[in-house]
Amino acid sequence: MRKILLFIFLFYYAAIISAQSPCNDEAIMSMKGGWKKKSDANMNGGKDITEINKRLDNISELFKSAYPEPKGNEAGWYRTMSDNSIMSNGPVAYNFNSLYQHWYCNVHLKKMLLSDETGTWAFVYVNHYGWFMSSQYDMLNIKVDGNPVYTLPIKKGIWKNYTLYRTSSGGEKSNCIILSRNGQVPWKPVSQQQYLEATLVQLKDQRMKTSDGYTIQENNLRKSMADTKNNKNLKDADKEKMIVFFQKQLDDMEKTKDEHIGRMNKGWDDKINAIENYMKQTDAATLQGPAIIDHHVIDDFKGKFPTEEQGGRMLVTADPGYFNTKLPHAAPQFIVLLWTWDNIAPGLDFKKQFEDNFPVEKLQAMLDK
């Protein structure tokens, strides 16, 4: 009985102390964290896996040296392979991933808990773009020379002599740099002419599909009527009701078909004419210059290109000529370093320490080796 009473006393005492303990940024930042290796994913590097693991382990040490004593955070890292290789016969693509889970004040329990989710991450993408230019946020629905076309992220400054970019995936709370050989980059600009010609093909194809779509719908309705008529499992009365229903849909569609197709075709024609008029009126040198577009209206060319200063984004595509096929398959030929942060004390502390201390020159030294 005494043990039970003692347990109850200690439980309530701990609850009182916890409730009275401060729960603010100062208390959160006093929480000393550490580094933990998490489970890898999709590590199917074949004969290169030993070398890949070694490289990623070395990268993990660079991160630990830059952020040796996490404050208000618990740091974790793991390896992954990527299926986003730029070239089918190019270098293998793989990643270093790190996340920083922060402590926070739980107002209901009146104590600090470790977050399940976090916006504070840092990545190293080897031999592929990763979230720097992703199919989800940055890829257009056209191709140039058989390669996907991307909008290059917005430049936001310089960090340790590297151009600093803001990614679409991370927004304002993201920084990203590219490490490559001799100041080159593994992409090349898409010219105005390349962009406009590829867009014309796409628009004309979509215009053709406008009427084709109606034909397909009409044929589907007629087929439904025939299938209903020949269905031996339906009663005649039910067949008649269904056929009347399908016929009404068909009649309604045919009444409005020409009007709808005309309206939609006018929309396509306006876009097509804007491109064709621009190409007729623009000199060859300008057409061979880089295409810079408004990221928010990718397929809606209005007759002129914005500048990067106006918020436009340059179109680029992979440059196969950048890659050296004589290097080992797992050798890093270019590297993307990307970090994001939560706008809270632990996230901002990580950002500052990382940007102050990360030995980017050691990451650069890994290229082509």
Q: What is the pLDDT of residues 148-194, one digit of tens each?
A: 999 999 999 999 999 999 999 888 999 999 999 998 999 999 999 99
Do 227 and 346 belong to one domain?
no
Res 13: pLDDT: 35
Q: Give Cα 4 to chain centroid, integer Å.
A: 56
Res 298: pLDDT: 59
Domain contains 17 = no
Minimal CA–CA distance to 165: which of 145, 194, 187, 148?
187
Residue 80 CB neighbour total at 10 angstroms: 16
The Cα 345–Cα 341 span in angstroms is 10
- What's the predicted TM-score (pTM) here? 0.82
Please identify which residue in the block is written with the tokens 């030993």. 50
Q: Which residues contact 368 (CB under 8 A, 6 or more apart)?
A: 181, 324, 327, 331, 332, 333
Q: Give Cα 103 to chain centroid, integer Å.
A: 27
Mean per-residue pLDDT pooled into runs of 10, the chain (369 residues): 41 39 85 96 88 97 97 97 83 97 88 93 97 92 92 94 93 95 94 95 87 79 87 86 86 80 86 94 96 76 87 93 93 97 97 98 97
End-to-end CA distance of the chain: 70
Do 54 and 164 belong to one domain?
yes
- Distance set, CA 332 to CA 45, 46, 56, 180, 320 (Å): 14, 16, 11, 9, 15
The Cα 229–Cα 240 span in angstroms is 8
Do 158 and 51 belong to one domain?
yes
Residues facing residue 100 across a β-bridge: 75
Res 193: pLDDT: 97
pLDDT in tens, 271-288: 999 999 999 999 999 999
Domain contains 11 = no
Res 296: pLDDT: 67
Q: Which domain holds residue 282?
A: 192-289
Tell me the HSE value of 338 on the side-chain side, using a 13 A CA sphere: 29
Please identify which residue in the block is written with the tokens 């200690």. 10
Do 154 and 184 belong to one domain?
yes
Domain contains 325 = yes
14 sits in which H/E element: helix 2-20
Do 210 and 238 belong to one domain?
yes
- Distance set, CA 321 to CA 86, 188, 289, 293, 309 (Å): 12, 10, 20, 25, 29
Do 39 and 65 belong to one domain?
yes
75 sits in which H/E element: strand 73-81
228: left (phi over 0), alpha (psi -120 to 50) or beta: alpha
Res 263: pLDDT: 85
Res 285: pLDDT: 97
Instruction: Give the residue from 270, 289, 308 where a domain finishes.
Output: 289
Do 180 and 208 belong to one domain?
no
Do 65 and 180 belong to one domain?
yes
Does the CA dihedral 174-179-180-183 come out positive or negative? positive
Do 214 and 72 belong to one domain?
no
Q: How many structural domains is the chain composed of?
A: 2
Do 207 and 356 belong to one domain?
no
Please identify which residue in the block is written with the tokens 């998490």. 38
Q: Which residues contact 164 (CB under 8 A, 6 or more apart)?
A: 155, 156, 157, 158, 175, 176, 177
Q: Which amino acid is residue 126, in one-letter code? A: V
Domain contains 297 = no
159 sits in which H/E element: strand 154-159
Minimal CA–CA distance to 72: which of 351, 358, 356, 337?
351
